[in-house]
Amino acid sequence: MFIKAEGLKDLIDYVIFDLLTNVLCDFDFKHRCLNQKIEMSRHICSYQEYEDRYIQPAFTFSALQFLFSIKTALIQVHLASHTSKLSITESFNKDDVMESLSTIQITERGIRRVGNECLLKLTSGAEFHQSLTLTDVDRCYHISCVTSDRVWVSDGNNLILTDTTGVPLQPQPVKDLCSDDIFTGNGLHTVNSESELIYINKNYDINKLSKDMKTATTFIERTDSTWVPLCVYWSPSTGDLLVVMLRRLPWGCKVTRYNQSGQLAQTIQHDNTELGLYRVPHHITENNNGDIVVSDFESGAVVVTERGGRHRFSYTGPPSGSVLLPCGICTDALSHILVCDGTTKTVQMLDKDGQFLSHLLTEPQEMGPPWSLSYDVNTHRLWVGSWWDKKVCVYRYITRQDALTDQHSSP
């Protein structure tokens, strides 16, 4: 615009010169041309001012600073949405903006997928948030978050719903939880999007307990006596239920997927060479990219397959060479895989491709060896259950980073 304005100014100068020297014209026409020249000169000065203020490469500014810098040039700007309005006038300030933005409501529609990775970052380490001592369980073999302050916890025999005080919220524990020896320490329960508990009962059926905890119905009935379910996980992204199944004679193990109607949709059993993928998994979860992540206690590995069932990798321990004894497992909003290791008594963090990143938790002082994990996607807190005692501890290792930052650099 600046270059074109200069060219237009030169053209006007040429036209005026030509008119004055070569053409006999009246005074009014020459006066109008002079006025246009003056007006164009004003525009050129204005463009130059904006260029000096905003387009110099050595100067950076935030969006908020930009709004403040041009507020005096604005008479009034209205941002209307139904009945609410934001006016930017001379009384404009940061508090007005924050108050108006806080009234924006986000309505969830359809299946929500994680899309805020750019707004999250790892902290320098796991920060202890709080601990609770449970009253109606002996150990914390498995945890399923319901809300930010409510979790289901099981010890292999009892299953209770508790809040951050550790006191059970239901009149009595779930009585028909599967309690066979082979199920000790397994991920026997999960929670769906309706906050309903899904668990394996003593008849090896998969039950669904209503949100008010008054009605239990059979979601998936066991129809094949040769296979029994070992652990379950409800997928937030698809609404499917992932189930690890075990067959004793002949020995075999597989992962099955059931849709929201309880119908079998997929079976994963063999790797790319038709060998069995699993021995005796204790826990199962799903990553943000659709990978199915299994904590296989007997084979000493975290076995990961893609959404379609192709084997991606198996993680067998950190670079130190210690033998992995995988227990509880979960994934977080940044697609990390977290696994409890019974050998080192740590919580190890992997990336989505199975590369060891760090020991997120060594044996915590606040509790015994970690055995179970549950990640709260709303608060980005990690719930960790102990193997030896009744303790559950909550940690934070992911935080939000500012979307807008003020960056000033000197020329």
Angle at 390 between CA 387 and CA 391, to 5 degrees: 85
Q: Where are the domains of the chain?
A: 2-52, 69-101, 120-400
Q: What is the pLDDT of residues 145-186, one digit of tens each?
A: 999 999 999 988 889 999 988 888 887 778 899 987 777 789
Angle at 359 between CA 150 and CA 370, to 5 degrees: 40
Contacting residues for 106 by C-beta, under 8 A, at least 6 apart:
none
**Cβ atoms within 10 A of the Cβ of 338, count?**
24
Least confident stretch, 64-73, 120-129, 391-400: 64-73
State the residue for tokens 């008119």: 19
Identify the pLDDT of residue 65.
47
Identify the pLDDT of residue 170.
82
**Cβ atoms within 10 A of the Cβ of 265, count?**
13
Identify the pLDDT of residue 90.
42
Q: What is the pLDDT of residues 192-230, one digit of tens each?
A: 999 999 999 999 999 999 999 989 999 999 999 999 999
**Cβ atoms within 10 A of the Cβ of 224, count?**
9
Identify the pLDDT of residue 49.
67
Whose CA is closest to 123, among 368, 377, 361?
361
Pairing of strands 346-350, 241-247: unpaired
One-letter amino acid at 32 equals R
Identify the pLDDT of residue 114.
43
Q: What is the 3-state secondary structure (H, E, C) of the chain?
A: CHHHHHHHHHHHHHHHHHHHHHCCCCHHHHHHHHHHHHHHHHHHHHHHHHHHHHCCCCCCCCHHHHHHHHHHHCCCEEEEECCEEEEECCCCCHHHHHHHHCCCCCCCCCCCCCCCHHHEEEEEEEEEEEEEECCCCCCCCEEEEEECCEEEEECCCCEEEEECCCCECCCCCCCCECCCHHHCCCCCEEECCCCCEEEEECCCCEEEECCCCCCEEEEECCCCCCEEEEEEEECCCCCCEEEEEEECCCCEEEEEEECCCCCEEEEECECCCCCECCCCEEEEEECCCCCEEEEECCCCEEEEECCCCCEEEEECCCCCCCCCCEEEEEECCCCCEEEEECCCCEEEEECCCCCEEEEEECCCCCCCCEEEEEEECCCCEEEEEECCCCEEEEEEEEEECCCCCCCCCCC
CA dihedral 313, 316, 319, 320 (to 10 degrees): 180
| Residue 324: Cβ-neighbour burial (10 angstroms; 0-12, 13-18, 19+) | buried
pLDDT above 80: residue 190:
yes
Q: Which fold has domain 120-400?
A: Neuraminidase (2.120.10)
The answer to whether 255 and 307 are in contact (CB under 8 A) is: no
% the chain with pLDDT above 90: 54
**Distance between CA atoms of residues 269 and 301, nearest Å:** 16
% the chain with pLDDT above 70: 76
> For the whole model, what pTM was predicted?
0.70
